[in-house]
Amino acid sequence: MSQKLHLMPILNQHTARRLLNGIRIATKQQVSSNGGGNPFEGMNVDFNDVNPFDIFEQFFGSQSPFGGNQRRKPRNLYQISLTFDEAIKGIERKFKIEGKEKSIKIPAGVDDGMRIRFTDFDIQVRVGRHAFFRRDGQDIYYEKQISYPQAVLGDNVEVPTLHKPVKLKVRPGTAHGALVRLKGEGIPFPNSNRKGDMYVIYKIHIPSKVSGKAKKLIEELKKENG
C-alpha cells in the first residue's frame, strides 16, 4: 500500500516573496538612515503582482543569492518519518509523490534531519527515539545499572545490542559512569560497510532503603576503608 509523503516546499512563490520583502524593508531602513532616496525608484516594481524569482534575477543576475552561478528551479522537499529500527536497517517502500507512485529506498543508518537527494526532489528524514538506546551520530549509548556489590567485587552482566544480547565483565572496583566500548556494534554509515560503536555506561544503583543486615555490612565496609 502506497503512503503519501508530507510535502515541505523549500523555496516557492510565498517564501521567495517573504525574502524579497525582507530585502525591501532592510534596504529602505538603510537608505532612510543615510538620508538617501528610494532604491526602487524608477524601477516600476509592484511587489504584490510579480514573480519573485524574476526579481531575484534582476538584482543578482543569473547568480543565485543563495549560492551557485545559475538560477535554479526550486526543488520539492518531502518528509518521511521512520522509527529508530527502520532508520538503522533502511527501508524500501512505495510512496505517492507528485501524483505518481514511486519506489523509494532509504539506506541503512540515516539520522534525524538528514536530507537525501533524488532526481527531481529531496527527502528529509525524521527519526524517532529508541526506548533505551541514545544515539550520537553513528554511535549508540546504553546505561546499565549495576549494584554496589557488583561494582566493588565485579560480576558478569548481560546487555542488549542492536542485534542480540551480549555478556560483559564488570571489573572489580568499577566506578560510577565507567564506559565500555563495543567496537563496530553501533549504527552503519549510509551506503558504507563501516559502523559506529556502542558504549555501555555503568550506573551504580544506590538503594533508597536497606535492610538492617545490609546496613551493618556497609558500616563494617566503611570502617574497613577508614
Rounded Cα–Cα distance for residues 157 and 149 (Å): 13
Contact 15, 9 (CB under 8 A): yes
Burial class (CB in 10 A: 0-12, 13-18, 19+), 110: buried
Confidence of residue 91 (pLDDT cuts 50, 70, 90): very high
Rounded Cα–Cα distance for residues 139 and 42 (Å): 59
Rg (CA), the chain: 29
CA 123, 7, 107: angle at the middle one, nearest 5?
Answer: 20
**According to the model, what pLDDT value does residue 32 have?**
58
**According to the model, what pLDDT value does residue 2 have?**
72
State the amino acid at position 150 in one-letter form: Q
**According to the model, what pLDDT value does residue 74 have?**
74
Pairing of β 76-82 and β 115-117: unpaired
**pLDDT tens figures, 166-216:** 999 999 999 999 999 999 999 999 999 999 999 999 999 988 887 888 788
Which range has the worst mean pLDDT, 28-42, 68-82, 164-178, 187-201?
28-42
**pLDDT tens figures, 101-142:** 989 999 999 999 999 999 889 999 999 999 999 999 999 999
Contact 86, 75 (CB under 8 A): no
Homologous superfamily in CATH for domain 76-127 = Urease metallochaperone UreE, N-terminal domain (2.60.260.20)
How many other C-beta atoms lie within 10 A of the C-beta of residue 155? 16
Total residue length of the chain? 226
More confident residue, 215 or 83: 83
Say if residue 75's pLDDT is above 90.
no
**Segment of 38-47, 97-106, 209-218 carrying the highest mean pLDDT:** 97-106
Rounded Cα–Cα distance for residues 141 and 126 (Å): 20
Say if residue 89's pLDDT is above 60.
yes
How far from 200 is each of 48, 155, 166, 188, 206, CA to CA, in Å?
A: 59, 15, 11, 18, 19
Do the domains at 76-127 and 134-208 have one common CATH topology? Answer: yes
Contact 108, 125 (CB under 8 A): no
Please report, for the chain, the start and end positions of each structural domain, with discontinuous segments joined by +.
Answer: 3-60, 76-127, 134-208
Say if residue 43's pLDDT is above 60.
no
CATH of domain 134-208: 2.60.260.20
**According to the model, what pLDDT value does residue 99 have?**
81
Residue 90 φ/ψ region, left for φ over 0, alpha for ψ in the -120 to 50 degree band, beta for the rest: left
Q: Which H or E run includes 84?
A: helix 84-89
Say if residue 59's pLDDT is above 50.
no
Share of the chain above pLDDT 70, in %: 69
**According to the model, what pLDDT value does residue 55 have?**
47
State the amino acid at position 74 in one-letter form: P
Confidence of residue 154 (pLDDT cuts 50, 70, 90): very high
Rounded Cα–Cα distance for residues 158 and 174 (Å): 16
